[in-house]
Structure 1
């Protein structure tokens, strides 16, 4: 089912500066409105292929929330150099990213971006072997095995901690994923790899191959490394704060609708992101995993107003940043190791969210 289902873990960094932007698929319901030339045009860039992390933006466009806010939003495919570079360079006004990238790019690589809405409030990363690989029963069995990696050493530090907390040494080999982690495992080139419970985990359950998976919190990895959300540039915040506020609050409304109406939201994503060939049943299952697992926050607290969906969490993300810093994970703009640790407060703001305290 996909590169349409395989995506790089949220710590992936863009390397190049030059890129081209391409459009992605069907226009939404408001695209035919003849008054669209009166709207402020902005671009939202995907972080990878369209999936349920992006669903609130698709819903906001389909339901007319952006149009009601005076915006004409063009949803485009991710650029070769990455969504972060596109936003930093002004190619896109908004994009899906994560607080790890926003903070580390800002503090370590000289970018000027901020996350303005954090949809995912707890980690969904899972570390898995094929269920048919009976030699792996828990993370300590990753010792001496081969890890299918997309590059970078953040995941290495996470896996090492999981193995050691399970009683192992934390020693393993690596191979770079060429196409998808599923295929790399099935080929026998690697023994385990990283997935997301809300997407690839759903794929494995519905279509196979069956996986044996382990989550980070169960094995002592602190904080939230999957603080996925929407970024914009400091320039947009300084020069067009009203546009940022309108976009953020319309997207926030889209995510709220999706959280309350997962089946309808799934149908919207499958239809309006048609280029990605998403099966509606699969997207619905993904949304129900998100809702049942309360990945976007406690619905009861959202309903009573004690938690605002989209709030950037500076506590759990900083725990993850500090943990990675202890493992010497970070590099500067030139790719050189640095002991400087990104600060979550430098990479995000809640000022544009409706209802944020």
Structure 2
């Protein structure tokens, strides 16, 4: 509950700092707060807005950009109805009795890994020894490095870890660091465009437990209890948006660029084409989540002392709002 209290104190900063866009001028109102500046992970939301899928469901949807308070705190405090985050965020929140629940997986598999320019000759986790890692200050980073390095009889204590926050990956590896944690669908694709060759140690290559959902859509328990039909309509509209992104990456990339014209056009088109195969991947439908994925990752987090207890998984996510 301490986390919720912090959210209430910080939420004014979030709302003041957010840019906002809306759909139709009438209908039931909902707000969604992004986890990052707009990118191809969010395309389905912008498509649903532009193509009238929200309007078809009689919804007026407001998109909030992230501020100083994390999306889970904002949604738990009821200052936004829906948020975007990772399975890890939701798991940690549930352990701390923060009442948020994942309602759809935006991407079915974890596409992240530790990346470095090829001239650093990092081809396996053991090569992290003696290198400088640029992170964003989350304890999970050291735990991941430790797990991967221990599997190859190396030690995370031999890695110089510095906090680079949200600094540009390409600038950082030229100046301060040797490797960092990236999502291939954005930074990896940008590297291809820049003709920067990377070595990447994908997390999923080293442990099944690390193939978790990231990002996900989540909401709070109160909205599920009081307005389930509203959520069902929202997810139906967003599902159409992501299905369009799967089937027509070029057209939907254009929609994202029209909504957010400051984005790199070449990167958006290339990233959209790449992610088209990843949104649903091998799942039976877009957005679906499976219990074993939640169980495996939470067990890994607990084993590595990143959460104090393993939550009730059936309260951490639901598929009930996905279209039938």
TM-score normalized by the length of structure 1: 0.82
Which string of whole-angstrom CA distances, capped at 9 and with x for unpartnered residues, describes residues 178-232 of structure 1? 4233333221x32211000101101111125432211112223623244311111
Structure 2 CA distance for aligned equivalents of residues 344 and 132 of structure 1: 43
| Correspondent of 2:276 among 291, 298, 301 | 291
Deviation of 1:146 after TM superposition, in Å, equals: 2.1
Distance 1:184 1:344, change over 3 A: farther
Unaligned 5+ runs, structure 1: 1-12, 302-306, 331-337
Partner SS, residue 92 of structure 1: coil
Partner SS, residue 199 of structure 1: helix
Structure 1 CA distance for aligned equivalents of residues 216 and 290 of structure 2: 11
Structure 1 CA distance for aligned equivalents of residues 152 and 318 of structure 2: 36
Distance 1:308 1:252, change over 3 A: same
Equivalent pair of 1:249/1:353 in contact (CA under 8 Å): yes
Please report the RMSD computed on the Cα atoms of aligned residues, expressed in angstroms.
Answer: 2.2
Structure 1 CA distance for aligned equivalents of residues 164 and 59 of structure 2: 39
Residue 228 (1) aligns with residue 228 (2): no
Residue 140 (1) aligns with residue 126 (2): yes
| Correspondent of 2:302 among 325, 348, 351 | 325
Structure 2 CA distance for aligned equivalents of residues 79 and 244 of structure 1: 24
Deviation of 1:272 after TM superposition, in Å, equals: 0.8
Equivalent pair of 1:227/1:317 in contact (CA under 8 Å): no
Equivalent pair of 2:101/2:218 in contact (CA under 8 Å): yes
Higher normalized helix content (fraction of residues) = 2
Equivalent pair of 2:4/2:77 in contact (CA under 8 Å): no
**What corresponds to 1:241 in structure 2?**
228
Structure 2 CA distance for aligned equivalents of residues 344 and 204 of structure 1: 37
**What corresponds to 2:193 in structure 1?**
206
TM-score normalized by the length of structure 2: 0.90
Unaligned 5+ runs, structure 2: none
Partner SS, residue 148 of structure 1: strand
Size of the aligned set, in residue pairs, is: 315
Structure 2 CA distance for aligned equivalents of residues 350 and 221 of structure 1: 22
Equivalent pair of 1:24/1:273 in contact (CA under 8 Å): no
| Correspondent of 2:263 among 266, 271, 278 | 278
Distance 1:23 1:149, change over 3 A: closer
Partner SS, residue 161 of structure 1: helix
Which string of whole-angstrom CA distances, capped at 9 and with x for unpartnered residues, describes residues 56-86 of structure 1? 1111111100000010111111131011111
Structure 2 CA distance for aligned equivalents of residues 118 and 50 of structure 1: 17
